Amino acid sequence: MTYIKPEFRHPNLPVNEVGFTKKEYEGRISTLCAGCGHDSISAAIVQACYEMSIEPHRVAKLSGIGCSSKTPTYFLSNSHGFNSVHGRMPSVATGANLANRDLIYFGVSGDGDTASIGMGQFVHAIRRNLNMVYIVMNNGCYGLTKGQDSATADKGSMSKKGAPNPFAPIDLVSLALELEASFVAQSFSGDKGQLIPLIKAAMHHPGFSFINVMSPCVTFNNNKGSTKSYDFVRDHASSTSVLDFIPKKEEIKVDYEEGIQVKVAMHDGSYLSLHKLARDWNPLDWVSANEALIKARDRGEILTGLLYINPKSNPLHDTLKSSDKPLNTLKEKDLCPGSKKLEEINSSLR
């Protein structure tokens, strides 16, 4: 199903602070199945970037292989994209980020791409606290090869053909939290109201921002008995909070009720405002976030929202003490020590 997207643009479309219409954040027409959760996530990314007035060319979008990894074609056409090889997006993103620390990096992956073939690179990107947004479009199956179970499929979850999955799932959220990823969130493709502010917050967080998005596969894993179907996720999602992202220009005027509202200051002066729905959990406390996640799992709930954030984490560039000026802008005079130094080196080798 491929057709040409109309070029027509309404002359009076509103523009954001940097002068772009929302259309300029869109991508090509999606070739995913109608009703695919992934398309909703693409739309959420478009909305978040537009509302945050990010110049589209200041974003680089990277992916691996699979249905989810095709989506960077469907958002931000004015951004450079890189569809790399299966499971290896994190390493390409690491190199790209090291080359230019000034861009925003969107990594899009799937449950096969991250939880199986790319597990090694995923956990090491977390370990280095690479400054990027890492979105997993999680549907518990391999869509592009027609519906095999993935490593995130729940034990007992029924496939379209009626076979229960015999293996325990890898829970990417628990894993990311265990590794102390500095921003861990979970959401549902059908809940834009939650997803958009999460994406905004993730883009502002100066470290590894992980968002696991339950994104049902309408074609191969939306049947009765599947724990990754629209109905199942909708019935079992339990939101931890209502999140708002507040740009630095807007002052926070509301007084917050202690224990319900949490205000998290971001490095650039902006704020996250969390309206907590669960009292016994603190997203700034790692132990508490773990506890909440384990309890929810025990209750059979899918905990959604921003589950953990460490606003003071040290991103990779700080750890490496790399220059503030992007490395890809350095020229001969910055990089080449010259012949005089070389002669000194020669002398030391005689």
Residues near other proteins (CB under 8 A): 20, 24, 55-58, 60, 62, 72-73, 77-85, 88, 90-100, 102-103, 120-121, 124, 128, 316-317, 320-324, 327-328, 330-332, 334-339, 341-343, 345-346, 349-350
The residue among 213, 272, 244, 248 whose CA lies nearest residue 42 is 213
CB of residue 324 to other proteins, shortest distance in Å: 7
| CB closer to other proteins, 268 vs 332 | 332
Least distance in angstroms from the C-beta of 56 to other proteins: 7
The SS3 of residue 296 is: helix
Q: Around 298, how many Cα atoms within 13 Å sit in the side-chain half-sphere?
A: 6
Q: Report in angstroms how near the CB of residue 67 gets to other proteins at its nearest.
A: 14
CB of 99 to other proteins, least distance (A): 3
Q: How far is the CB of 262 from other proteins (least distance, A)?
A: 34
Length of the chain: 350
Reference 241, options 263, 266, 219; nearest CA is 263
Residue type, 264: V
Q: Which residue, 73 or 222, is less far from other proteins as judged by CB?
A: 73
Q: Nearest distance from residue 237's CB to other proteins, in Å?
A: 33
Minimum distance of other proteins from residue 87's CB (angstroms): 9
Secondary structure (3-state) at 276: strand
Distance from C-alpha of 64 to C-alpha of 142, rounded to nearest angstrom = 13
Q: How many CB atoms lie within 10 A of CB 171?
A: 17
Q: Which is nearer to other proteins, 62 or 137 (CB)?
A: 62
Q: Which residue is associated with the tokens 């690179």?
A: 121
Sign of CA dihedral 343, 346, 348, 350: negative
User: Of 163 and 342, which has the nearer Cβ to other proteins?
Assistant: 342
Strands 59-63 and 104-110: parallel
Distance CA 181, CA 176 (A): 5
C-beta of 57 vs 248, nearer to other proteins: 57
Residue closer to other proteins, measured from CB, 254 or 349 = 349
194/313 with CB nearer other proteins: 313
Q: Phi and psi for 110 in degrees, rounded to 5?
A: -120, -175
